[in-house]
Amino acid sequence: MELLLNQVLAGIATGAIYACMALAVVMIYQAIDHLNFAQGEMAMFSTFIAWQLLQWGVPYWGAFVITLALSFAGGIVIERALFKPLGNAPVLTHVAGFIALFAIINSVAGLTWDFTIKQFPSPFGSSPFLGSQLISTHQAGMIGVTLVLLLLLYFFFQFTRIGLAMRAAAAQPESARLVGINTSWMIALGWGMAAAIGSIAGMLIAPVVFLEPNMMGGVLIYGFAAAVLGGLSSPFGAVVGGFLVGIFENLAGTYIPGVGNELKLPIALALIVTVLVVKPTGLFGRAIVKRV
């Protein structure tokens, strides 16, 4: 019983990592209708920027805000410079672009900051949370930040003009243009926001997994799994999906004989495939009906 509780708690703690990343994945999916394979690397790069600022003596929250702003701008620049020209190119061209971006960012980070792991501070400390050794204050803080982020996104998309405009641009580009929404800039904005959310995810994940150029590799796959499980169109679903994947992965690894540890990653991938086959919209996603 204790082991079960421990594994569930540990699962929630890792689930928070996936949830954070899944939020960024959903964000970009909302804006461009694709998954961005370079999302994790962008988050990693942002985290390195924050680390560099901290090394230069900038206080934590100062570095946090500057990184957020730089990442937002960086996301927009990438869209304007790389993906706008691709415009109406087929999906495969975009995928190739994402993969190229992935490799470039990864190598540049390695070249600049080398591959040794770096410690990244947590604003929440790492003492036991409420007496539980299984969840540290950092992990609790991470869950808190994820939920706040989720709330902010909800309000943004439901109640702000620009949020509504972004949704319109993604769902009905043509109608949106007709009512005077600049859809092209909405996409750029989506990139910027995804990059900014990714940078928060990176800064929260780094204290747990340590900062290095390859830190997001595994995280992104689980983030995808979480986003698909929760529904690619639902930020709420992404967060729930993140926690579920974290718990599911731990319990399967502990209790299903034969699955063990060697099949932990395949579990995430199997989950993606299963959800796509059984319920393509995920748990909370909305079915998209296209008139032909």
Partner 1 sequence: MSFSSSKLAVLSAAALLFAASSHGALAQKKYDPGVTDTEIKIGNVEAYSGPASAYGVIGKTEEAYFRMINEQGGINGRKINFISYDDAYSPPKTVEQVRKLIESDEVFLVFNALGTPTQTAVQKYHNVKKVPQLFVATGASKWNDPKEFPWTMGFQPSYRVEARIFAKYILKEKPNAKVAVFYANDDFGKDYLAGLKDVFGGNSSKLIVAEESYETSEPSIDAHIVKLKDTGADVFVNISTPKFAAQAIKKMAELQWKPMHLMTDVSISIGAVMKPAGLDASEGVLSAGYLKDASDSQWDGDEGMKKFKAFLDKYMPGANIADTNLVYGYTAAQTMVQVLKMSGNDLTRANVMKQAASIKDFAADALLPGIKINTSATDFAPIEQLQMMRFTRGKWELFGEIISAETGG
In the complex, the smallest distance separating the C-beta of residue 50 from partner 1, rounded to whole angstroms, is 16
From the list 55, 104, 115, 158, which residue makes contact with partner 1 (rule: CB under 8 A)? 115
Of 12-20, 83-91, 152-160, 182-190: span binding partner 1 (CB under 8 A): 12-20
The residue among 199 and 234 lying less far from partner 1, judged by its C-beta, is 199
From CA 173, how far away is CA 189, in angstroms rounded?
15
Among residues 282, 272, 260, 277, which one has the least CA distance to residue 220? 272
Among residues 243, 240, 242, which one has the least CA distance to residue 224? 242
100 near partner 1, judged by CB under 8 A: no
Q: How many residues bind partner 1 (CB under 8 A)?
A: 45
Neighbouring C-beta atoms of residue 148, cutoff 10 Å: 10
Contact 202, 196 (CB under 8 A): no
From the list 183, 184, 254, 281, which residue makes contact with partner 1 (rule: CB under 8 A)? 254
The residue among 2 and 174 lying less far from partner 1, judged by its C-beta, is 2
Contact 35, 25 (CB under 8 A): yes
118 near partner 1, judged by CB under 8 A: yes
Alpha helices in the chain (DSSP H): 2-32, 39-55, 60-78, 84-86, 91-113, 137-159, 161-171, 173-178, 183-209, 217-230, 235-255, 264-278
In the complex, the smallest distance separating the C-beta of residue 176 from partner 1, rounded to whole angstroms, is 37
Of 41-49, 84-92, 148-156, 260-268: span binding partner 1 (CB under 8 A): 260-268
Tell me the backbone φ, ψ of residue 4, rounded to 5 degrees: -60, -50
In the complex, the smallest distance separating the C-beta of residue 208 from partner 1, rounded to whole angstroms, is 6
Among residues 230, 206, 243, 214, which one has the least CA distance to residue 279? 230
126 near partner 1, judged by CB under 8 A: yes
The residue among 9 and 82 lying less far from partner 1, judged by its C-beta, is 9
From CA 71, how far away is CA 186, in angstroms rounded?
17
- The token pair at 21 is 């990343």
Q: Which of residues 193-252 bind partner 1 (CB under 8 A)?
A: 205, 208-210, 212-219, 221-222, 249-250
Question: Footprint of partner 1 on this chain (CB under 8 A)?
Answer: 2-3, 6-7, 10-11, 13-14, 17, 107, 110, 114-119, 126, 128, 133-134, 136, 205, 208-210, 212-219, 221-222, 249-250, 253-254, 260-262, 264-265
